Structures are given as structure tokens and as C-alpha cells.
């Protein structure tokens, strides 16, 4: 089985560091058929690459898991999710 390696952007919000040092990246490996399927699925959407889509999905999933583990869901996060779903964020 073949795999694609995609690079996900991690941006450190610490403003104390210069811009060049704030951006960090890591890679993940996914099966080629999954990569191709995602690539076809995002065609015509606001996602410019499989990496952008994967970053979005991982952020959403992580936020959901974190809100479940804390036992509460804030009204603000629900509004943010709705705005994202509508394409405003």
C-alpha cells in the first residue's frame, strides 16, 4: 500500500517570538486511497489542499473531544462552529 505524507501547520500564538520562529510544521502519513478520496471531495470547496482540510478536521475533532472531556460546551464555541459551517471563518 502506498502512502502520502502531508505537512500540517502548527502556529504558536506566542507573540514574543519572531514570525519565522512561531511557525512549526509536522507531518502525518495517510494511505494513498484516502488522500485521493479527500482530494476529490474537497474539489470546489474552500479548502486549497488536503493538508488544509486535514488541519481543519483535526482542529474540530480535538475541540470536540476537549469540550466533551471538560463536560461543558460553551455557547461561544457553538457559535464559532456555526460560523465555520457557513464559511464565515
pLDDT value, residue 31: 92
Please tell me whether the overall predicted TM-score, pTM, comes out greater than 0.75 for this model.
no
Number of domains in the chain: 1
Distance (Å, whole) CA 52 – CA 35:
12
Q: Round the average pLDDT of the chain to a whole number and report it.
A: 78
- The b/e string for 62-89 (b: 16+ C-beta within 10 A; e otherwise) is eeeeeeeeeeeeeeeeeeeeeeeeeeee
Contact 31, 3 (CB under 8 A): yes
**pLDDT in the model for residue 53:** 93
Question: What is the spatial distance between Cα 23 and Cα 27, in angstroms, rounded to a whole number?
Answer: 14
Structural domain of 41: 3-85
Amino acid at each position: 500500500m502506498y502512502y502520502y505524507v502531508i505537512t500540517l501547520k502548527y502556529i504558536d500564538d506566542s507573540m514574543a517570538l519572531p514570525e519565522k520562529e512561531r511557525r512549526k510544521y509536522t507531518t502525518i502519513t495517510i494511505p494513498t486511497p484516502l488522500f485521493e478520496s479527500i482530494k476529490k471531495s474537497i474539489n470546489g470547496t474552500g479548502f486549497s489542499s488536503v493538508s488544509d482540510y486535514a488541519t481543519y478536521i483535526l482542529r474540530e475533532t480535538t475541540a470536540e473531544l476537549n469540550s466533551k472531556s471538560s463536560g461543558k460546551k460553551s455557547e461561544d464555541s457553538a457559535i464559532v462552529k456555526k460560523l465555520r459551517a457557513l464559511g464565515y471563518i
